[in-house]
Structure 1
Amino acid sequence: MAERKMVSVQEIAGIYPVKDADRIEKAKVLGWIVVVGKDMGLKPGDHVAYFEVDCLLPADDPRYAAFQKRGVKTLIVEDPNTGKDVEVSGHVLRTVRLRGTYSQGLIMPLSELGIDPETPVGADVTREAGVYKYEELPPLRGGDMIGPFGSAYASKSDAPRLQNLTDVWSELVGLRATPTVKVDGTSTTIARDDNGIAHVYSRNWEIKPECTNMVVAQRDGLVDALEPGMAIQFELVGLGIQSNRLKLRRPTPFVFAVWRNHRKINRSDWPQACLNHAVPVLDAARWRLEGSVEDMVAKVDGLRGCVTDGVLDEGIVWHLDADQLLSSDVAGRLSANRCFKIINNKYLLKHGL
């Protein structure tokens, strides 16, 4: 899957009023709503820079000075010039609610960023904007990492948000997909290579096999279920793991994908051990793909109790059945993962994400 475009050139799809507000309004970009100042003078058709949530706006960049008073976080990144780890501090864009309206991301004029106004819509301008993707956990450091993510047997665990897929929604609606709960944990991939050796990976790195992720997978029979050339992907959740937002006491794996020779396979073909520890499947009729992108996002808002009674769930992932043909547009956007997600806005607000 292509790397997430943290900042891209996009077109304003619509401008709408905010109830009882004189100085702000809503701007629609792709499937996202962003609250903006009326003094920006935005109108449908304008080309702007759209910053996705999770962007870290560096404190030492004068273009983002005004944002720093809203709160600052620190991220460890690799300096592209030296290859060494350096600290970067800045404000992180999160989901907020203003006058009853969810606002996700940031819109800035291209001119304020020094970006050529003729840059085509959809272009990735993250580098020009000088921002970083903020991840809640700091990257693993030298003692834990033993190599890069191994992509021979599975792609990195990632799914685009439906709000970024508005241009292919009309095709997605007609496809067969299995809706599953998105579980908020530590993403893990375990692959057994052609020589029978099992490797364990975080989102971006191969890590030591004695890590908790591997120990739990071995305890629950997930490693033994893998034949050479197979891989499983799961979220590890429980006490002491990230923020344990699902309030589970025991480290628990939730399998969301199984691969064979770098091809994601349908749940009906999973080994029994993976099914025993799978993410919950939701009712296909209730969560079928229908209506508009906005309709689906609103429907997921407030989802709770699918994993832990009474507790908000992170969202839903729709996994496309493996035996159906996709257009080049959809296949290119989803890549081998063949899935997409909607994150529960109430969950984002509750946890400051």
Structure 2
Amino acid sequence: MKRKLASIQSVLAIDPIANADAIELARIQGWQCVVKKGEFRVGDAGVFFEIDSVPPDDERFAFLWRPKDGSMVAQPANFRLRTLRLRGMLSQGLLMPLAQFPEIPSGLTTGSDVTEILRITKWEPQIPLNDEVDGPFLPGVPKTDEMRVQSVPEVLTEIAGKPYVITVKCDGTSATYGMNRQTGVFTVCGRNWSIKRGTNAYWHAAEKYGLEALLGRFPQWIIQAELVGPGIQKNRLGLKGIELRVFNVYDQERGRYLDHDEAAAMLATHGLPMVDVLERGESFAHDQASLLALAEGFYPGTQNEREGLVIRPQTETHSLVLGGRLSFKAISNRFLLKGGD
């Protein structure tokens, strides 16, 4: 499912904020954000911009980066919507009146994606590695990007009562390894592109774990992992060298992900590290609040906030809500408030 960075949403609730005369809290989908007092009423439609959204350099958004004195400044190059705490309340994203965007067609309804109409892009972290783009991503292989539970709260109903597994989300960068079925060439990819062979961290990990030889023997497998270690993000796992934490094994011949236990057995056999399991059970019963609470914690052996969790059924399951596999994430609010990406 493609993430809706900007969408039309209805206000589900308005809550007062103690000792705040000018602002109040609006609840949209599974999110909450601070708005001007009186700007919205319950049931009103607005345009909701999720965290990590990068708005265009447009006068309607200039209040986000303009100094309090009102002086004209250009949009900062690294600007994006982030998680904030205002008057003690968590505020995630931005809600603006629908009337401010006349370019949105009048027939669109709640839930409609207006990301492209409003020229909203997604902020992506840049890792300081000497990697170079070699070409497109591996053909026929799904890219890695889970939806946040706040954006698709309906997934909680889909997974309820099912055997489940919750794994720790590592704060690194996505890496995909496999044989290109069209060319027969071992290929290393970042999140969106293949990476040239070289001394970069992606290829260093491939060599460290012998992935070219392994996947040459088993060309049906695609390994998707978080690349972590020094020089990647802030190395919150406190590692001394570049490592992988595998979160997906995809069978490109059959067009399916391996179930959790299948993947765990395969990875153990070949000495590949899997992401840590935080919780496993036979009947999923979490709600959004309990998942976000569970997401908070430290990476082992550190005082660094972990990024969050990934939640899946133990057996691969199709999601009607997501239009694909049933898999989603819960990001720690403590991590976000402390500057996590």
Secondary structure at the residue paired with 2:146?
coil
Secondary structure at the residue paired with 2:65?
helix
Quote the residue 2:65 is aligned against.
Answer: 68
Moved more, 267-276 or 209-218: 267-276
Q: 1:163 aligns with which of 150, 165, 172?
A: 150
Contact 1:58/1:91 (8 A) holds in 2: no
Aligned partners of 2:75 and 2:129: how far apart in 1?
17
* RMSD between aligned residues: 2.6
Aligned partners of 1:147 and 1:48: how far apart in 2?
39
In terms of fraction of residues, the more helix-rich structure is 1
Instruction: Report sequence identity in percent.
Output: 35
Quote the residue 1:201 is aligned against.
Answer: 189
Quote the residue 2:311 is aligned against.
Answer: 318
Aligned partners of 1:310 and 1:144: how far apart in 2?
33
Q: 2:297 aligns with which of 303, 310, 314?
A: 303
Q: CA deviation at 1:139?
A: 11
Q: 2:41 aligns with which of 34, 40, 43?
A: 43
Moved over 6 A (4+): 70-73, 138-141
Q: CA deviation at 1:151?
A: 3.6
Relative to structure 1, is the Cα distance of residues 164 and 151 closer, same or farther in structure 2, using a 3 angstrom cutoff? farther
Secondary structure at the residue paired with 2:147?
coil
Q: CA deviation at 1:21?
A: 1.9
TM-score (norm 2): 0.87
Aligned partners of 1:234 and 1:205: how far apart in 2?
15
Aligned partners of 2:33 and 2:322: how far apart in 1?
28
Contact 1:73/1:92 (8 A) holds in 2: no
Contact 1:72/1:91 (8 A) holds in 2: no
Aligned partners of 1:108 and 1:90: how far apart in 2?
22
Secondary structure at the residue paired with 2:21?
coil
Q: 2:258 aligns with which of 255, 265, 280?
A: 265
Quote the residue 1:102 is aligned against.
Answer: 90
Aligned partners of 1:253 and 1:119: how far apart in 2?
43
Quote the residue 1:80 is aligned against.
Answer: none
Quote the residue 1:348 is aligned against.
Answer: 336
Q: Structure 2: which 5+ runs fail to align?
A: 68-72
Contact 1:9/1:125 (8 A) holds in 2: yes
Quote the residue 1:22 is aligned against.
Answer: 21
Quote the residue 1:83 is aligned against.
Answer: none
Q: CA deviation at 1:12?
A: 1.0
Secondary structure at the residue paired with 2:79?
strand
Quote the residue 1:225 is aligned against.
Answer: 214
Secondary structure at the residue paired with 1:199?
strand
Q: Would you say how many aligned residue pairs link Structure 1 and Structure 2? A: 326
Contact 1:289/1:296 (8 A) holds in 2: no
Q: CA deviation at 1:169?
A: 2.2
Relative to structure 1, is the Cα distance of residues 139 and 225 closer, same or farther in structure 2, using a 3 angstrom cutoff? same
Contact 1:93/1:105 (8 A) holds in 2: yes
Aligned partners of 2:230 and 2:329: how far apart in 1?
25
TM-score (norm 1): 0.84
Task: Please give the residue correspondences for 1:235-246 in structure 2 after superposition, counting only pairs within 5 Å.
Answer: 235-246=226-237
Amino acid at match of 2:262: D
Relative to structure 1, is the Cα distance of residues 323 and 37 closer, same or farther in structure 2, using a 3 angstrom cutoff? closer
Q: CA deviation at 1:14?
A: 1.1
Contact 1:57/1:132 (8 A) holds in 2: yes
Q: CA deviation at 1:72?
A: 7.6
Quote the residue 1:188 is aligned against.
Answer: 175
Relative to structure 1, is the Cα distance of residues 265 and 275 closer, same or farther in structure 2, using a 3 angstrom cutoff? farther
Q: Structure 1: which 5+ runs fail to align?
A: 75-88
Amino acid at match of 1:29: I
Q: CA deviation at 1:289?
A: 3.6
Quote the residue 1:55 is aligned against.
Answer: 53
